[in-house]
């Protein structure tokens, strides 16, 4: 399992630039999905 750190400073500098970009995009996608899930949960709680 790939451990992804949310802190930029913890990313190894040895990673190629495109890999770092991919990791950042993945982090942003994960955060976006978590936020959407949270909103969905709030919405269903409100409806029930």
Average pLDDT of the chain to the nearest whole number: 73
With respect to residue 2, please indicate whether it lies within any of the assigned structural domains: no
Please report whether residue 7 resides in a domain: no
Task: Count how many domains the chain has.
Answer: 1
Residue numbers of the domain that contains 27: 16-47
- Is pTM beyond 0.95? Reply is no
1 occurs within a structural domain? no
Q: What value, to the nearest 5°, has the Cα angle with vertex 34 and ends 16 and 13? A: 15
- Gyration radius of the chain over CA positions: 15
**What average pLDDT does the segment 5-23 reach?**
70
What local confidence, expressed as pLDDT, does residue 25 receive? 92
pLDDT band at 36 (very low <50, low <70, confident <90, very high): confident
Residue 36 placed within a domain: yes
């Amino acid at each position: 399992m790939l451990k992804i750190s949310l802190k930029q400073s913890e990313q190894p500098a040895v990673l190629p630039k495109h890999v770092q970009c991919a990791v950042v995009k993945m982090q942003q996608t994960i955060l976006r999905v978590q936020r959407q899930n949270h909103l969905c949960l709030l919405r269903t709680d409100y409806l029930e």
